[in-house]
Amino acid sequence: MTEMTGIIFLRDPDLPFLEIKRCDTVDNLSYKKHFHEEISIGLIEKGATRIWSAGKRFEAAQGQMVYFPPLLPHACHPENPADWKYTMIFIHPRWLGQTPSDHDSHQPHMPILHPKYQNERSRHLIRSCRTLLQQNATPLEVESMLMALMRETGLLQEEAAWASSGNVHTSPAILRVKQYLDDHFKDRITLNILQDISGISKFHLIRLFAETYHLAPHAYQNLLRINYAKEQLLQGKAIADVASDSGFYDQSHFTRAFSGCVGTTPLRYAKAASS
């Protein structure tokens, strides 16, 4: 995490295509005309802003979501920087198997996301992506939330192959994914790794895995970690050591995940086991 006055940048070395920016009440903030190589999805959490986008002007208010494709010139001028807060997610097109130039920046574009995508679930997903990155969640957790966000906002079009995929989810490809998770659950696994192992597009892999095992890959991985941790705690090992050995980033992340699955903290679980 990189921080400057009123602005925080969140990154994960295992997710080099992703950056999340949180801006919170910065005085005299105004962006000059610029563009990004990334797909940009943002939520205005407080205040309002004037947007210049490819020669046209727009107004965006609190609660609205904005979107800028790669290479599209734009600028934002908050009406009151001292009362201005937003979260912006930057996704490099290479995560989608694309390049920035695959997005035609000369096509007419509306920077404020279409009204049918302006819903509480979309806003919740943006906040959840930010929270997961802040909490050093597993790459699979972040990518799964990111995929859900792009689907919810209409930015991820389902491939035609999905409609004719038939029983591909019963194929050995998904079994290979499960076996890899079983063998490497302590590792920081990405969707690209699972895509390479299975030969199934990562856009479909999450759904196919869930149809087969009733859990998303990241949830399955976390449960493997938790079950392993329970065994280690029952053997009397120190919580900090168990957290690290189970693959969790830190003890607080471990405690949150453990409590959510077991219903109590690792400390209480360990004490109950020894009483």
Amino acid occupying residue 7: I
pLDDT digits (tens, 9 = 90+) for 215-232: 899 989 988 999 899 989
- As a whole number, mean pLDDT of residues 136-150 equals 94
Predicted pLDDT of residue 168 = 42
Looking at per-residue confidence, does 100 or 48 come out higher?
A: 48
Residue span of the structural domain in which 95 resides = 2-152
Distance, CA of 200 to CA of 168 (rounded, Å): 9
The reported pLDDT for the residue numbered 212 is 86
Find the CATH number of the domain harbouring 125.
Answer: 2.60.120.10
Residue 273 neighbours by CB under 8 Å, 6+ apart = 233, 234
Residues 26 and 147 in one domain: yes
Measure the CA–CA gap between 258 and 230, rounded to whole angstroms. 9
Residue 29 and residue 79 in one domain: yes
Quote the number of domains for the chain.
3
Burial class of residue 187, CB neighbours in 10 A (0-12, 13-18, 19+): middle
Stretch 87-109: mean pLDDT: 81
pLDDT at 115: 87
Q: How confident is the model at residue 260 (pLDDT cuts 50, 70, 90)?
A: confident
Q: Are residues 26 and 145 in the same domain?
A: yes
List Cβ neighbours of 267 (8 Å cut-off, separation of 6 or more). 239
- pLDDT tens for 112-131 read 988 888 899 999 999 999 99
Domain with residue 264: its CATH number is: 1.10.10.60
Is the pTM higher than 0.85? The answer reads: no
Give the helix, strand, coil percentages of the chain, each rounded to 5: 45, 20, 35
Question: Which of the pair, 106 or 42, is modelled with greater confidence?
Answer: 42
- Whether 224 and 202 map to the same domain: the answer is no
Confidence band for 275, pLDDT divided at 50, 70 and 90? very low
